[in-house]
Structure 1
Amino acid sequence: MNEQDTFPDQPILAALDIDGTLALPSTTQVADRVREAVARFVTAGHHVVLASGRSLVGVLPVARELGLVDGWVVASNGAVTARLDSRVPRGYELEDVQNFDPGRVVHAARAAHPGLQIAAERVGWGYDVTHLFPPGQLNGAQQIVSVDHLGERSTTRLVFRGPDAGRLVGSVRSVGLTAVPVEPDWLDVTAPGLSKATALEKVRANLGVLPTRTVAIGDGENDLEMLRWAARGVAMGHAPATVRAASDTVTGTLDEHGAATALDEVHMAGLPQ
């Protein structure tokens, strides 16, 4: 740690996005350089928290790939927080699950756009879907259900997929729900007021980490709140201009193992004030 670091003996919490930051979308493979940087960071006494738009069943394999068997993960853009625990049979305990009633928005969206594909998350298992999604697009299993059935069950996350999905942002937000446009044809919907940042703040408080000892690394629109929340927000080199503008610094691309570079810099130089 350098002399600029005000609290060199206090642990740092590093919040890491997955897709585009640690791994390619829909994969669990992490480069050796990234895995080694995470190991050095944790061995030094710091905390690594995966914070992803993926559902929990998509986050857990990446945690195992990184050797993270005890700690915390944030899934579904902040709707699900789990505590990793190597002592329990399934390897984790659910800490915070934010459900909402999807009925109103599901029926309104389908009425306006009849061809829309809809998925509703079932935590730890997969999704109820109106039509099967292509392999790799959703984490976990899929079960086809009717729109009525899907709208009756509370959920942590809805996915709208189709050419008109992006047009639903305004109507979803108008009823108080959180709408996160992932792609022009893909919209994530979660409970009101949620983001990766809201979940990470609870994790930070639980761990007793100082607000000034936080760093976040990401590359997407769903990382904006997280990057602003952290004492140091780091955008991946390939991130869109809006994401880079919201960050304090920019690291290398995924191919350049930018997340590893950023973690090593924080590990070696600390978080100067």
Structure 2
Amino acid sequence: MTAAASNERWLVGLDIDGTVLHEDGTLDPRVVAEVKRVRDLGHEVMPATGRSVSMTLPVIDRLGISPAFAVCANGAIVMRRDAEAPVGYLRDRVETFDPREVLTTIRSHLSGASFAVEDAEGLFRFTGDFPEGALAAGRRQVDFEELLAAPATRVVVLSPGHAIEDFLEVVERMGLHKVSYNVGWTAWLDIAPDGVNKGTGMEYVRERLGIRRDHVLVIGDGRNDIDMFEWAAEGGGVALAMGQSPEEVRAVATGVTGTDVDGGVASALARYFQG
């Protein structure tokens, strides 16, 4: 199957870390070239990432594209291009939730964990210790009680004292309600508003652009891409897991491409968008 067989526009959603970018943050020139080539064919190529807005826009610049939309914060924030905006994009849709129950529940189960809450403007309020660069530039250390005060686009929990299997077990045992969550490569938990994920963000964009449901291709490598993969596959689209993806991510993909080191995004775009 290739998109070249159709003259209609496709929507291409790309995860960033471990997909577009190597794990060390470097960008393969082959990926840049293929992204631009597919864009020049008339398709909409955009990021679909767990990153905050302030950490997503520089990657768009590095790719040399200006997509109409960008899905950030695992779907909780959708940015729309606007030439009049100070950074070139405006918040088109923002989903928030009350973080109080989630934070107090998790704190009672994971002693010693660090917590961060991202608000609708992209500011992270955090308590505990986060690695340098793990949160957006807009960050402020506060007391735990202050984390409970404002609506959140997401809650981040870091608990490096737990092995990934133990962390998953604790998370399942907590029985979180009315939120969506996924666990990253390490003991890192992202919690979003109920029913919000990369797939819901991409569907919002697809409807806004009027692109056919089966003219969607997404690529990712993490557990936070599972919902997006299921969304793409259920609509007859393409969902490609990077070669280094965990087995549970591969299991819901329609195919697998190369690793980030092998330029998996570049080879996938070259295969599906010939012309």
User: Does the CA-based 8 Å contact 1:251-1:261 persist in structure 2?
Assistant: yes
User: Does the CA-based 8 Å contact 1:49-1:73 persist in structure 2?
Assistant: yes
* 1:184 Cα offset (Å): 4.5
Instruction: For 2:272, give the aligned amino acid.
Output: V
User: Does the CA-based 8 Å contact 1:69-1:86 persist in structure 2?
Assistant: no
* 1:131 Cα offset (Å): 2.3
Instruction: Pick closer, same or farther for the CA change 1:124–1:30 going to 2, 3 Å.
Output: farther
The counterpart of 2:260, out of the listed 235, 241, 254, is 254
Instruction: For 1:222, give the aligned amino acid.
Output: N
Q: Distance in 1 between matches of 2:16 and 2:4?
A: 30
Instruction: For 2:138, give the aligned amino acid.
Output: A
Q: What 5-or-longer segments of structure 1 have no aligned partner?
A: none
Q: Deviations over 1:227-256 (max 9, x none)?
A: 122201111111122222211111111111
The counterpart of 1:56, out of the listed 53, 58, 61, is 53
User: Does the CA-based 8 Å contact 1:52-1:74 persist in structure 2?
Assistant: yes
Q: Distance in 2 between matches of 1:74 and 1:3?
A: 22
Structure 2 equivalent of residue 263 of structure 1: 269
User: Does the CA-based 8 Å contact 2:2-2:273 persist in structure 1?
Assistant: no
User: Does the CA-based 8 Å contact 2:81-2:89 persist in structure 1?
Assistant: yes
The number of residues matched between the two structures is 266
* 1:124 Cα offset (Å): 4.7
Q: Distance in 2 between matches of 1:2 and 1:114?
A: 50
SS at match of 2:117: strand
Structure 2 equivalent of residue 226 of structure 1: 228
Instruction: For 1:30, give the aligned amino acid.
Output: L
Structure 2 equivalent of residue 112 of structure 1: 109
User: Does the CA-based 8 Å contact 1:51-1:73 persist in structure 2?
Assistant: yes
User: Does the CA-based 8 Å contact 1:83-1:93 persist in structure 2?
Assistant: yes
Of stretches 105-114 and 10-19 in structure 1, the one that deviates more from structure 2 is: 105-114
Instruction: Pick closer, same or farther for the CA change 1:172–1:209 going to 2, 3 Å.
Output: farther
The counterpart of 1:21, out of the listed 5, 8, 19, is 19
The counterpart of 2:134, out of the listed 127, 137, 146, is 137
Q: Distance in 1 between matches of 2:3 and 2:69?
A: 30
Structure 1 equivalent of residue 30 of structure 2: 33
Instruction: Pick closer, same or farther for the CA change 1:4–1:30 going to 2, 3 Å.
Output: closer
Instruction: For 1:45, give the aligned amino acid.
Output: G
User: Does the CA-based 8 Å contact 2:113-2:157 persist in structure 1?
Assistant: yes
Structure 2 equivalent of residue 74 of structure 1: 71
* 1:123 Cα offset (Å): 4.3
Instruction: For 1:183, give the aligned amino acid.
Output: W
SS at match of 2:7: coil
Q: Could you tell me the TM-score, scaled by structure 1's length? A: 0.90
Q: What 5-or-longer segments of structure 2 have no aligned partner?
A: none
Calculate the aligned-residue CA RMSD, in Å: 2.1
Q: Deviations over 1:102-138 (max 9, x none)?
A: 0111122223333110001134544100124110222
Identity in percent: 33
SS at match of 2:201: helix
